[in-house]
Amino acid sequence: MNPKQVFFSSLLQPHLPALKSTALRLARSRTDAEDLLQECFFKAYRSLEQFQENTNFKAWIFRILVNTYITSYRKKARQPQKISYDEIEEHVLYKNILENPHFSLTGEELRTNRHDFDDDVLEALNQLPYPFRLVVLLCDVEGFSYNEIAQIIHSPLGTVMSRLYRGRKLLQRQLWQYAENRGYISEATKIKK
C-alpha cells in the first residue's frame, strides 16, 4: 500500500461500523448500501487532498456519504418508472385467477385428480430449461433457502433469485395452459386474458 492508502485507511477504519449502519439505513437494502459505501469511499479517496488534517474526519466522510446518497436518490427520481411486460402479464394472470370461480379445485377434485395433477406439474417442471428447473426444484420442492441454493449451485444469491423468478414465471405460463385445457378456467376468463 502506498502512503496515501495507509493514511486513508487509518482515518477510515474507526468509522466503518457507523458508516455501514448509516448506509444501510439510507439505502434500505444491503446491496444498495454496499454500492453506496463503495461510491463514498471512492469519492473520499479521490478527494483526500481536500481533507484538512486535524479536523473532524468523521463529519467529512459522513458528508460525502450523505451527498452521494442524495445524488443517487435524485438520479433515480428523475428516471421514468419502468414497468416490464412480465409484470403486466403477471397482474392480468392473477386478476383472472381471482375473478374466476372455476379455477380453484375442491378437496374432492384434488383427491380424485391428484395423480394426474402431479404428472402434469412434473411434466411442466421438466420442460423448464435446466438452470431454472434446478432452482425451482431446490426451492419449491425441496424447501432450501436462497442462501443454501446459492451454495449448492455455486452461484451468487442474485442469480438464484433471478432464476427462481424466471423459472416460476415459465412454470406459471405452462400451468395456466394446463388449467385452460382441464376446464378450470371459464371461456369468459380466456377472453379477458
CATH value at residue 23? 1.10.1740.10
pLDDT in the model for residue 10: 94
The pLDDT, as a whole number, for residue 84 is: 56
User: HEC string of 4-27?
Assistant: HHHHHHHHHHHHHHHHHHHHHHHH
Q: The cell 468523521 sits on which residue?
A: 58
Residues 185 and 99 both lie in one domain: yes
**68 & 89 share domain:** no
Is the distance from CB of 179 to CB of 140 less than 8 angstroms? Answer: no
Q: Same domain, yes or no, for 117 and 74?
A: no
**CATH code of the domain in which 108 resides:** 1.10.10.10
Q: Could you list the mean pLDDT of each consecutive 10-residue stretch along the chain, which spans 193 residues?
A: 92 92 83 93 94 88 87 79 55 51 44 53 77 82 83 87 91 79 63 50
Residues 92 and 163 in one domain: yes
Under a CB-based contact definition with an 8 Å cutoff, are residues 105 and 190 in contact? no
**Helix segments in the chain, DSSP class H:** 3-12, 16-27, 30-46, 57-78, 85-99, 107-127, 130-136, 146-153, 157-182, 187-192
* Residue pair 144/137 in contact by the 8 Å Cβ criterion: no
For residues 17 and 112, state if they share a domain. Answer: no
Identify which of 93, 91, 112, 85 has the alpha carbon closest to the alpha carbon of residue 179: 93
**98 and 52 in a common domain:** no
pLDDT of amino acid 186: 61
pLDDT at position 99, please? 53
* Structural domain of 59: 3-78
**What is the pLDDT, as a whole number, of residue 13?**
95
Q: Are residues 53 and 95 in the same domain?
A: no
> What is the identity of the amino acid at 146?
Y
